[in-house]
C-alpha cells in the first residue's frame, strides 16, 4: 500500500472543506486530479479503486502584469486566506497540517514541535500559478511556485469543469496531467512520490476516456519528443516493479504502455 487509508481519507476530507469555500477559477492538479480522471474506468477494468492522494495540489491563473490590487482580489489570494484561516501552516512554498499518527488527531504547530517525525504524518497543500509575478510573495506571503503547463488549462481551455467536494473547479485534460507527471517524475527524491508519478502516468494513459493514440498525439503537442524520450528512458525496472506492487497491475503492462509513449 502506497499510502495509509487514513492519510487519503483526511486529505479527501480537506478537499471537501477547502473547495466548498474556494474562489474560482481554481484548478485541481496532482494525485487527486488523476484519481477523478481514471478511477471509474480503472475500477471497471480491475475491480479496485485507483490510488488516492496524500497531498492537495491547486493551480491558479496569475497575470504577470496584474497590479497589487488585482493580486489581492485574485482567486489565488482569496484561496490562500482560506487555508490560513483553517490553520494551515506556511512551510516554504507549501502549506501543511500535522497529525498524530496514533490518534489521527490534528496537531497545533506547537504540539507538532514536541513530537518526533515518526509520530506524525503531514497533509500538504501546494498552490501554484501559471505565470510568475514579481510581487506575488508580497501579497500571498510565501514564494509561489509556477507551473507553466497550467497555461494549457487557463489559456487553451484544456479542462473540464467538475462539481465535486462541495465546489466547482477546473480538472485538466489527461494530456496536461501526464505532461506535469512526466516533468516531475525525474525530480522526485522520495520513493513514494516517484512510484505515484509512474502509477499516474500509466493510469492516465490507459484508463482515461481519450484513446491511447489520440492521447499520445496531444502529449507530443505539449512536450517535445526529446523530453518525453529522456523521461521515459530514465524510468527503471525497479520503478515499474514498485508501481506494479502499488496497483496490483502486471509490471510488463505498466512498462509497455509507458514505453510506447516515447516511440515515434
pLDDT digits (tens, 9 = 90+) for 12-43: 888 888 888 887 899 999 999 999 999 999 99
16 or 218, higher pLDDT: 218
**Residues 73, 189 share a domain:** no
Closest CA to 259 of 246, 240, 238: 240
pTM for this structure? 0.93
pLDDT band at 1 (very low <50, low <70, confident <90, very high): low
**Residues 158, 59 share a domain:** yes
Range of the domain at 194: 174-264
**Residues 25, 149 share a domain:** yes
C-alpha cell at 228: 518525453
Domain end, chosen from 134, 155, 172, is at 172
**Residues 97, 209 share a domain:** no
**Residues 142, 196 share a domain:** no
pLDDT surpasses 80 at 198: yes
The total number of structural domains that make up the chain: 2
d(CA 169, CA 24): 7
**Residues 222, 110 share a domain:** no
Give tens-digit pLDDT for 39-86: 999 999 999 999 999 999 999 999 999 999 999 999 999 999 999 999
**Residues 89, 4 share a domain:** yes
**Residues 168, 181 share a domain:** no
Give mean pLDDT, residues 176-198. 91
pLDDT surpasses 90 at 217: yes
Domain end, chosen from 172, 202, 233, is at 172
Domain end, chosen from 150, 172, 194, is at 172
Contact assessment for residue 71 and residue 24, using Cβ atoms and an 8 Å cutoff: no
**Residues 158, 134 share a domain:** yes
**Residues 149, 238 share a domain:** no
**Residues 152, 117 share a domain:** yes
Q: How far apart are the first and last CA of the chain?
A: 35
Amino acid at each position: 500500500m502506497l499510502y495509509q487509508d487514513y492519510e487519503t481519507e483526511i486529505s479527501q476530507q480537506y478537499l471537501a472543506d477547502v473547495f466548498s469555500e474556494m474562489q474560482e477559477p481554481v484548478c485541481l492538479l496532482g494525485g487527486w486530479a488523476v484519481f477523478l480522471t481514471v478511477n471509474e474506468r480503472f475500477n471497471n477494468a480491475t475491480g479496485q479503486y485507483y490510488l488516492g492522494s496524500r497531498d492537495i495540489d491547486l493551480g491558479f491563473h496569475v497575470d504577470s502584469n496584474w497590479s497589487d490590487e488585482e493580486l489581492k482580489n485574485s482567486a489565488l489570494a482569496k484561496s490562500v486566506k482560506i487555508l490560513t484561516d483553517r490553520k494551515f501552516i506556511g512551510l516554504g512554498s507549501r502549506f501543511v497540517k500535522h497529525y498524530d499518527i496514533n490518534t489521527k488527531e490534528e496537531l497545533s504547530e506547537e504540539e507538532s514541535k514536541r513530537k518526533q517525525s515518526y509520530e506524525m504524518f503531514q497533509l500538504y497543500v501546494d498552490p501554484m500559478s501559471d505565470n510568475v509575478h514579481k510581487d506575488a510573495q508580497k501579497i500571498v506571503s510565501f514564494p509561489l511556485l509556477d507551473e507553466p503547463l497550467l497555461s494549457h488549462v487557463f489559456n487553451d481551455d484544456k479542462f473540464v469543469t467538475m462539481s465535486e467536494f462541495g465546489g466547482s473547479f477546473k480538472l485538466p485534460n489527461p494530456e496536461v496531467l501526464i505532461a506535469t507527471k512526466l516533468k516531475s517524475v525525474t525530480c522526485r527524491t522520495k520513493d513514494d512520490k516517484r512510484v505515484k508519478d509512474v502509477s499516474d502516468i500509466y493510469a492516465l494513459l490507459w484508463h482515461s476516456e481519450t484513446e491511447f493514440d489520440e492521447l499520445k498525439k496531444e502529449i507530443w503537442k505539449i512536450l517535445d519528443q526529446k523530453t518525453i524520450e529522456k523521461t521515459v528512458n530514465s524510468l527503471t525496472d525497479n520503478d515499474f516493479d514498485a508501481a506494479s506492487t502499488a496497483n496490483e497491475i502486471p509490471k510488463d503492462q505498466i512498462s509497455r504502455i509507458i514505453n510506447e509513449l516515447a516511440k515515434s
